[in-house]
Amino acid sequence: MTEPITQYVPKNHNRSPSARCAEIKALTGHVTPRQPRALSPAGPRHELSARALTALAAGPGDPGGLQTLANTRLSYTRSLVAHVSRIGATDTDAELSRAAAEGWALLCRLDRTHPGAVQEIFAHPFTSAWAHRCLRPPRGANGGLDRAHLGGLAAAAALRAGTSAEVLVPVRDGALHLPTLGAFRVMARAAVTATVSVAAGEARASGAVWQSARRVASPVIRTTLEDLDPFRDCQDWPAAARLASDEYSTWHRAVLAAGSRLAADVPGYAAVLGSGLRSIVPLRAVAAANRSSTARQAFGAVALTLPRGGDMAALLLHEFQHVKLHALTGICDLFDAAEARLLPVGWRGDPRPIEGVLHGTYAHLALAHLARAQGPPARARYLQYRSWVCDAAAALSASAALTSDGEYFVAEMAAAAQAQSDG
C-alpha cells in the first residue's frame, strides 16, 4: 500500500494543515525507510463538500458526507497497514515473522485481484485499532504476535474473495482470528501459529472449532455485535468476553428495538447511523451503571453496556456523534490543538478542553433532536439538552480557539439547536 499520505480538506473551507497528517507522522516516524511492496496505485483525493459539512454540523449529516469520512479513514488505514508491514518484528519467533510476511504478500495479491474483499477488511474498525497498537505498542505487548495478525487479515480477505489459499495465522488466547468473519478456537493452545485453509468460500483449521461473528440485520441497522476481535478492547472500559447465546439474543433484540425507535423519531440520524455503524462492542457490565464509549482509532464502532433501565437508542445516537466528529476533526481543523484553556459545560461539573466541549455539544445536539421528537414526555430533557448546546456553542465561539471552519461548524450547531421551537 503506497498511497501517499495526502491532506484531506473540505471544499471552499480553510485549508489549514490536517491533524490527520500530524497523527500519521507521529505514528510512523520511527518506521524504517524501506519502501513497502505496492498494493495498488495511489488512491483518489477525498474532499468533504461544503454541503456535507453543513449537514454534519446540523446534527445528522447525510450518507454521502459519511461516505467521504469513511473513504478518508479507509485511506488512512491503508497507510497505517503499509507502515506496519515495514516494521521488524520485536519477537524473534520465526513462525510469527513468517505469518506476517506471508499475510502481507497475500494481501498485496488480493488487493490487485479482489480489491473489494481487501477493502472490507481494512474498513473494519479494529484493523485501524490493531495498526495503531503495532505502531505505538503498549508496555509488555508482543510485537511479533501483533504484527503476525497480518496473516489473519489475509485469511479473512481470501475467504471474502472466494479464492483458495493456505494462510499461517497466529494463535492468540487460544484462537485464530479472521476479522469481520469469526475465529477458530484451537485445541493445541501451546501452538504459536496454525494453518487456515481457504477454498470455495469455506475456511478450515485442523483440530479447531469455528465461532461466527454475531450479526444484527434490520432495515435500519446492519452491524456486528463484536465479541471476538482481539483488538476490540480499545475503549475507555474493558470489553466483555464472548456473549453466551441468551446474552446475544438479548443484545440482538435491544439493538433492533433501538434501530426501530431511531428510524421513527429521528430518521435522518437513523439513515446515517445505519450506513456507518459497523460494530457494537459489548462492554463488561458494571452494577447500576450504563457505560458507552468510542475510540478515535476505530471509525464505525461504538462500545456500550447493555442498558439497565436506560435507553440504547440514545446511547447509540450519542456515541455515533463522537464517531463522526472524530473522523471530521481528523481531516478538518476545527480548533487550535495547542489551545489549553478549559471551558465550563452544563453536562459535567468539571471544565472541559476545547475538543471535549465540541464533542459534548455535538452529542447533546443529537439528544436534543431525539427528545424533541418524543414530545411532551421528554420536554424537560429536550429543554435541558438545548440549553447545554446553546451555552456551550456560545462559550466556544467566545473562546477564540476555533478556526474558521470551527466557527462555521459551531454556528451551524447553535442554529440547529435554536431552530427547534417550543411550539
Note the pLDDT tens digit of each residue in 99-124. 999 999 999 999 999 999 999 999 99
∠98-99-104 over CA atoms, to 5°?
Answer: 100
Does 239 map to a domain? Answer: no
Instruction: For residue 182, give the H/E element and its range.
Output: strand 182-186
DSSP summary character for residue 402:
B
**Among 209, 273, 217, 269, which Cα is nearest to 242's?**
209
Which cell is 84 given? 506496519
User: Which positions ≥6 away from 380 have C-beta within 8 Å?
Assistant: none
Q: In this predicted model, which residue has the larger pLDDT, 44 or 299?
A: 299
- Can you tell me the distance from the alpha carbon of 353 to that of 129, in angstroms, rounded to the nearest whole number? 24
Residues 255 and 226: beta-carbon distance below 8 Å: no
Nearest residue to 283 (alpha-carbon basis) of 315, 314, 253, 259: 315
Q: What is the pLDDT of residue 45?
A: 65
The total domain count for the chain is 1
* In-domain check, residue 272: no
Establish if 383 belongs to a structural domain. yes
| pLDDT reading at 200 higher than 50 | yes
- Round to whole Å and give the CA distance between 381 and 367: 9
* pLDDT (mean) for 386-407: 97
Q: Using pLDDT thresholds of 50, 70 and 90, give the confidence band for residue 301.
A: very high
Q: Is residue 36 part of a domain?
A: no
Q: Is the pLDDT of residue 287 over 80?
A: no
Q: Please check the confidence at residue 423 and state whether its pLDDT lies above 70.
A: no
Pairwise CA distance, residues 285 & 305, whole Å: 6
User: Given a cut of 80, is residue 365 above it in pLDDT?
Assistant: yes
In a domain, 77, yes or no: no
pLDDT at 190: 72
- Is 53 contained in some domain? no
Whether residue 149 is contained in a domain is answered as: no
Coil, strand or helix: which one is 363?
Answer: helix
C-beta separation of 324 from 56 below 8 A: yes
Average pLDDT on 132-138 reads: 95
Domain assignment present for 391: yes
pLDDT of residue 20: 43
Eight-state DSSP code of residue 224: E
Confirm if 401 and 354 have CB atoms less than 8 A apart. Answer: yes
Residue 44 pLDDT > 80: no
Whole-prediction pTM value? 0.89
The pLDDT value given to residue 91: 54
Contact 74, 123 (CB under 8 A): yes
Provide the domain limits for residue 351: 334-423
What is the reported pLDDT for 93?
Answer: 86
Sheet strands side by side (includes 193-199): 165-170, 193-199, 202-204
Give the lowest-confidence range in 159-168, 185-194, 264-273, 289-298.
185-194
Q: Which of 76, 84, 80 is nearest to 7 (CA)?
A: 76
The DSSP-derived string for 282-317 is EBPPBTTB--EE--TTSTTEEEEPPPSSS-HHHHHH
